[in-house]
Amino acid sequence: GENVEQHPSTLSVQEGDSAVIKCTYSDSASNYFPWYKQELGKRPQLIIDIRSNVGEKKDQRIAVTLNKTAKHFSLHITETQPEDSAVYFCAASEEAAGNKLTFGGGTRVLVKP
């Protein structure tokens, strides 16, 4: 089955700096890579996703890159703000096989004012 590794497990950045979270996956059949943000006590919320036919996707201050050859993808948050503090999860799935997500272990991001 699929295995997703996520690093780092914790990340502390100064407000205004950039944050980068990296994930690797094992199953070459995976073709959908979402990122979720989870605030304390809340449900995971989808913030951005990318499919294997695209190398990069951007939405305002967040961007995701995908390297299919190396089987890794990354989340980039620029100009971080205190409200970006949360736990972020990467995930991978094969859409045609039920879109069952395999999640990374999560990254706790703390943005210091």
Partner 1 sequence: DAGITQSPRHKVTETGTPVTLRCHQTENHRYMYWYRQDPGHGLRLIHYSYGVKDTDKGEVSDGYSVSRSKTEDFLLTLESATSSQTSVYFCAISDLAPPYEQYFGPGTRLTVT
Footprint of partner 1 on this chain (CB under 8 A)?
Answer: 1, 4, 6, 32, 34, 36, 42-46, 49, 89, 91, 95, 98-106
Cβ-based nearer residue to partner 1, 18 or 99: 99
Cβ-based nearer residue to partner 1, 18 or 26: 26
Shortest distance (Å) from residue 38 CB to partner 1: 9
Shortest distance (Å) from residue 78 CB to partner 1: 23
> φ and ψ at 96, to 5 degrees?
-75, -10
Write the burial class of residue 82 (CB in 10 Å: 0-12 exposed, 13-18 middle, 19+ buried): exposed
Shortest distance (Å) from residue 15 CB to partner 1: 27
Cβ-based nearer residue to partner 1, 45 or 81: 45
Shortest distance (Å) from residue 84 CB to partner 1: 19
Cβ-based nearer residue to partner 1, 49 or 71: 49
Q: How far is 9 from 13, CA to CA, in rounded Å?
A: 13
Write the burial class of residue 53 (CB in 10 Å: 0-12 exposed, 13-18 middle, 19+ buried): exposed
Q: Is the dihedral of CA 28, 25, 90, 59 positive or negative?
A: negative
